[in-house]
Structure 1
Amino acid sequence: MKKIKYLDLFAGCGGLSDGFLQTEMYEEVAAVEWLKPQVNTLKNRLQKKWGVSNVDRSVLHFDIQREEELFHGWENDKEFGDGVGLDKLVEEAEGIDIVIGGPPCQAYSIAGRVRDKNGMANDYRNYLFEHYLNVVSRYQPKLFVFENVPGMLSAKPGSGDVHVTDLVRSGFDSIGYEIIDNLKEAVVNASDFGVPQNRKRVIIIGVRKDIPSIDNKHQEILQNFYNIYLNNVKVEKAQTVEDAINDLQKFKPVQSDPKKKIAYEMIENSGLELNWHTPRYHSERDKGIFKLLAKDIEDGTNLYTNSKEISKLYEEKIGSKSPIHRYHVLRRNQPSTTIIAHLYKDGNRFIHYDSDQSRTLTPREAARLQSFDDDFEFLGARGAVYQMIGNAVPPLLAKKIALAVRSVIDELN
């Protein structure tokens, strides 16, 4: 079977790409990412897991906004070094079949717009899809996969009244691609595909209008993707937090030492020992709060299962008021709440369900909830690791999307 060749834009640490490669139906021609820890992690994964030998050449550490250099190559850049550019890599591959990826989602997220005083209306990330569009226009793949948050369906960049989705639709239409008429049909939940996490995302696929075999059946093919091919790869039963992380090594609280940043020690012979399965430092006060909240659920008391009571607890324990819901214990018998990049700054909304451990998620637990394989190594400092995990497309969701995309490509051929 001839493999489908793709470009991965805004690649991050490679969650989307990893899922596509797991199907053994796809071949990565090039990836573009501008954050160094993510680039290092992606290169390491492609080389060690997937046997890609030219990662220093094919993984482009570069800013996608600098398009001329991105396409033609660059030299002696202070931040990004040297790169051959996409044109050379695509030419050597004799073209590409699809483009995958999605611009950073913070500017489209409802949570992000709430935190920003201008609703993130002027955030440059609102316009990064234009660079995605320009890459698609240049290389004319049969199909593209564009991933983002549901918040993009209501986002309005700048000071105008035009929705991002209108700009996306008109942009792709102008370069000869069609997307589904009703974008609400493009919203999927990762938990439906076996990921132990409620994570809603918009998955937009677009097909090139001038492919002879389509014969004006674009919307029919797009409907098949969402209503048949994706449905065929859904699971019957959702995976829970306990399903995902209960076999991992457990920890017990010890006296917090702020100088040494020690607050926990591992319990021997209680599970697997894996890369990045280490708790972050927490103070005695915070550990007490985590224990109280987890115990409240374990005992069925449920005093702190609404935002009003949690806000009162926060004010009592911390001594200040907060306008947002600060704490959340993950329910052991349900999928996790959405793993987010903000986890690198604040893990209090991701408290472990085991009150005896009195802690928040480790990076490896977050990776498990994102469906990363245990042999996926994350390179960089703890904050960068949490961030790349939270920003990633769950590889299992990506794999299911890749299988459904394959069915569409078969229709196009």
Structure 2
Amino acid sequence: MRVTKISYPIVDLFAGPGGLGEGFSALHNGNAPSSFHSIVSIEHNEFAHKTLTLRHFFRLFGKGKAPKEYYEYISGEITKEELIAAHPEQWKKAEGSALCISLGPENHDAVQKIINARLGSTKKWALIGGPPCQAYSLVGRSRMSGSPEFEDDKRHFLYREYLKIIVDHKPPVFVMENVKGLLSASVKGEPVIQKILRDLTHPKSAVGKGDNGLAYRLYSLSEKGEFSMGADPASFLVKAEEYGIPQARHRIFIVGIRDDIKVAPEILRKRESPSVRAIIGGLPRLRSGVTKDEDSAERWQQIVRSASTTPWYRMSTGSDYAVSEIMEKYVSPTSRLPSQKFSKRYAMPETMTSWYGDDRLMTLTHHDARAHMRDDLYRYLFAACYAKTFGISPVLADFPTLLLPNHKNVKIGVSGKMFNDRFRVQLADKPSTTVTSHISKDGHYFIHYDPSQCRSLTVREAARLQTFPDNYFFEGPRTEQYHQVGNAVPAYLALKIAIIVRDVLERIKD
């Protein structure tokens, strides 16, 4: 593979907090500058855009050269205003490349002018990103299926803005990402994926501007060869856990190469993925917080100890074990595990240390535990013990009756028909399940495997499973931080995709 020291521009649409752009920008040619640099990243969410701007600022200084004020800011030692005052020129540049714009007809002309100005006469560059996922997702469709407005939801068609930008700027290569649910979604009886593939192949026709010969060949990142219409679109599915990512995240990635360019991309190389324990096991241990009660280490210990006095603690679940035996074996309620916002006990993962690590990072951000109600503490405690004993996360039918939540769908869940995995433990010795934006609502699907911590995952733990480096800082309140992490493309997977895109650009004749 021939590699030059050129840094190629990227235009990143629907950028979120920047996971896809981070992977591209993290690709370096030895000691040379990054192989890619973001000239335009567009995101309309206020907090994700703030995160994106801060990361653009961080990257402007080059690998390993971010100023001390950056680390002081993310650790809470100085304000954003003080950070900007220390480096006003770099901050202005970051604001110029990370744009808070809602993509749509109302802003199309302005976006076109911005991209034209930034690209200039550049011929070798890449367009990356994908439209919002909610309307395509299986969960989104199940929630909205009863709504008469669902068929006309504009989120079905935001990919048309992506198409228009392809038509306007004719990128030599693009990467479009979306959710697995796209494969089974349909609008007015037509499979969404088939329409999108046709449109991406002939984008000018798709947006009603005729067909002047602009066309793209489409490729998968997991199967070799050009995609032909009529073939199974499931070939575009990338299972992240097959490529070294510590998470079973299944997403669609479509690579398009302009038809006049006679280059075909390689595919991702498979490798074993690290486990949840290998990635987050070394992080400082935390007790969960306590909500609707006094939140203190002493009160938390009292609640955990009180489990031994409850009926469900003493009863058998009907299996070949007793709850009390599990509790006594794995839980040490006398442990003092304080909940803390920052930790100077910075711990590296067992693997991928050069990817996650930063020797200049003295405080670990976003590693503070959520607060949980007493009854949920009991459920998390039981679920983590169960997973540690049997190597699987319990379903509702495995829970003692007295631990079942008072919820209208619980009976259905216990019967195994649906919602039976309402409480899901992330198993220590396997990759995690998909980190989704739902983690922003509650921690039931993201219970820590260690029973003695009795909590859901922190933002930093979720970010590590999404392969964000530890010096990546997420702006906004914690709910928004979770939301950003859950919606992002795993940054390390993006790095692997960037290698393939760089190779394509390198092989294009000038």
Give the TM-score of the pair, scaled to structure 1.
0.85
Render the CA deviation track for 1:37-74: whole Å, top value 9, x for unaligned.
1111011011113438312112120110135x343269
Given candidates 278, 282, 285, the residue that maps to 1:243 is 278
Render the CA deviation track for 1:316-364: whole Å, top value 9, x for unaligned.
3436433523110110000000000111112201000000011001000
Deviation at 1:95, TM superposition (A): 5.5
Given candidates 96, 100, 110, the residue that maps to 1:57 is 96
Percent identity of the aligned residues?
30
The answer to whether residue 396 in structure 2 is matched with residue 396 in structure 1 is no
In structure 2, the CA distance between the partners of 1:51 and 1:314, relative to structure 1 (3 Å rule), is farther
Larger Rg: 2
Identify the residue that residue 41 of structure 1 maps to in structure 2.
51
For 1:367, give the aligned amino acid: A
Identify the residue that residue 77 of structure 1 maps to in structure 2.
none
SS in structure 2 opposite 1:144? strand
Q: Is the 8 A contact 1:70 1:86 kept in 2?
A: no
Given candidates 360, 367, 382, the residue that maps to 2:463 is 367
Measure, in 1, the Cα distance between the counterparts of 2:248 and 2:344.
31
Identify the residue that residue 394 of structure 2 maps to in structure 1.
305
Measure, in 1, the Cα distance between the counterparts of 2:469 and 2:461.
11
Measure, in 2, the Cα distance between the counterparts of 1:313 and 1:206.
53
Give the stretch that moved more between structures: 55-64 or 313-322: 313-322
Identify the residue that residue 184 of structure 2 maps to in structure 1.
154
Given candidates 5, 9, 18, the residue that maps to 2:22 is 18
Identify the residue that residue 505 of structure 2 maps to in structure 1.
409
How many residues matched? Answer: 383
Measure, in 1, the Cα distance between the counterparts of 2:288 and 2:189.
52
For 2:159, give the aligned amino acid: F
Measure, in 1, the Cα distance between the counterparts of 2:53 and 2:345.
32
The within-5 A match list for 1:75-94 is 85-91=114-120, 94=122
Identify the residue that residue 80 of structure 1 maps to in structure 2.
none
The within-5 A match list for 1:122-133 is 122-133=152-163
Given candidates 312, 316, 319, the residue that maps to 2:404 is 316
Deviation at 1:161, TM superposition (A): 1.9
Ranges in structure 2 where 5+ consecutive residues have no aligned partner: 28-33, 63-89, 204-214, 219-226, 301-336, 348-362, 411-417
Give the TM-score of the pair, scaled to structure 2.
0.70
Aligned CA RMSD, in angstroms, stands at 2.7
Q: Is the 8 A contact 1:7 1:96 kept in 2?
A: no
Measure, in 1, the Cα distance between the counterparts of 2:296 and 2:254.
44
The within-5 A match list for 1:5-404 is 5-23=9-27, 24-51=34-61, 53=90, 54-67=93-106, 69-72=107-110, 85-91=114-120, 94=122, 97-118=125-146, 120-157=150-187, 160-175=188-203, 176-179=215-218, 180-181=227-228, 182=231, 183-211=233-261, 214=262, 221=264, 224-226=265-267, 230-231=268-269, 234-235=270-271, 237-253=272-288, 256=291, 258=293, 265-266=338-339, 272=347, 274-300=364-390, 305-309=394-398, 313=401, 316-318=404-406, 320-322=408-410, 323-324=418-419, 325-404=421-500
For 2:167, give the aligned amino acid: S
For 1:165, give the aligned amino acid: I
Q: Is the 8 A contact 1:70 1:85 kept in 2?
A: no
Ranges in structure 1 where 5+ consecutive residues have no aligned partner: 75-83
SS in structure 2 opposite 1:99? strand
